[in-house]
């Protein structure tokens, strides 16, 4: 996917300054030990977690596994993608290269989407994840227009091609299998977005995109834990956030 107009002017300059990892670069912890299970094993951990996602742009190969696994996990219909990978070409011929920028919801600490919602359907939920109350959402789509990252989609409930039909498929978001899709019980007619797989976090699991990333380009954990992988990566000189100048305070941190 090509970068949206909201991001196109910001990304090339950032990616053009890509640095090589230092010899002391932090690597992913061993498989099977997630930030959530590690915290659960530490009886002295009493602080409120500050969940963040770190994405290493040098490791992303543009395979779109994150996009596919996200759609499979959240049962989103065609036209609704929580995780997309933006592609761009840098340099001039013959010295060109492709760069890939995964773009989930930024889970902003100052989310513009929440400020424009006329009914308070979008808000900062537990652990700082931006969530949507489907029962409150009236489908006005003001939040889609306000999001500077293009990270929101509207669920028209159309073009679904599974054997069951879209109205029969359950959605596991927020830990609720919604059953037969009717207005007020389903996301149809409302806005949808990435939630860092909040239902998986509740089970002590990583977001689906992090767990399935082929290049190990994604990290997820508690920034409040100084010993966590994400805290160490966030302190790297390679770390940056998209469109920081807007004051949105994103919880997705990129490594250039």
Position 75 scores a pLDDT of 81
Query: What is the C-alpha to C-alpha distance for residues 140 and 119, in angstroms, rounded to an integer?
Result: 10
Torsion of CA 2, 149, 201, 74, to 10 degrees: -50
The whole-model pTM stands at 0.78
Domain positions in the chain are: 51-255
Q: At which residue do the structure tokens 């036209």 appear?
A: 79
Give whole-number Cα distances, 216 to 29, 63, 87, 93, in Å.
10, 12, 18, 30
User: Within 13 Å of residue 62, how many CA atoms lie on the same side as its CB?
Assistant: 11
Per-residue pLDDT of 17-73, as tens digits, reads: 433 344 444 444 434 445 554 554 454 556 789 999 999 999 999 999 999 999 989
Query: What is the C-alpha to C-alpha distance for residues 77 and 29, in angstroms, rounded to an integer?
Result: 33
Coil, strand or helix at 39: helix
**51-255: which CATH architecture?**
2-Layer Sandwich (3.30)
Nearest to 152 by CA among 183, 122, 118: 122
Over the chain, what is the mean pLDDT? 80
Per-residue pLDDT of 80-116, as tens digits, reads: 889 999 998 888 989 998 899 999 999 999 999 999 9
């Amino acid at each position: 996917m090509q970068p949206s107009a909201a991001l196109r002017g910001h990304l090339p300059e950032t990616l053009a300054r890509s640095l090589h990892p230092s010899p002391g670069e932090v690597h992913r912890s061993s498989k099977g030990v997630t930030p959530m299970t590690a915290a659960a094993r530490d009886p002295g951990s009493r602080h409120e977690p500050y969940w963040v996602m770190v994405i290493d742009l040098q490791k992303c190969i543009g395979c779109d596994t994150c996009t596919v696994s996200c759609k499979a996990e959240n049962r989103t219909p065609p036209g609704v993608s929580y995780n997309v990978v933006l592609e761009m070409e840098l340099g001039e011929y013959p010295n060109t290269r492709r760069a890939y920028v995964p773009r989930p919801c930024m889970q902003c600490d100052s989310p513009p989407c929440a400020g424009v919602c006329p009914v308070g359907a979008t808000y900062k939920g537990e652990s700082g994840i931006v969530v949507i109350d489907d029962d409150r959402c009236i489908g006005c789509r003001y939040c889609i227009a306000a999001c500077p990252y293009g990270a929101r989609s509207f669920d028209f409930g159309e073009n679904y091609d599974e054997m069951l039909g879209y109205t029969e498929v359950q959605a596991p978001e927020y830990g609720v299998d919604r059953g037969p899709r009717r207005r007020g019980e389903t996301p149809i007619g409302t806005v949808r977005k990435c939630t860092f797989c909040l239902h998986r976090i509740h089970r002590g699991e990583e977001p689906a995109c992090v767990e399935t990333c082929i290049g190990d380009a994604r990290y997820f954990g508690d920034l409040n834990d100084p010993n966590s992988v994400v805290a160490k990566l966030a302190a790297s000189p390679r770390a940056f956030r998209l469109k920081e100048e807007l004051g949105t305070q994103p919880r997705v941190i990129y490594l250039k």
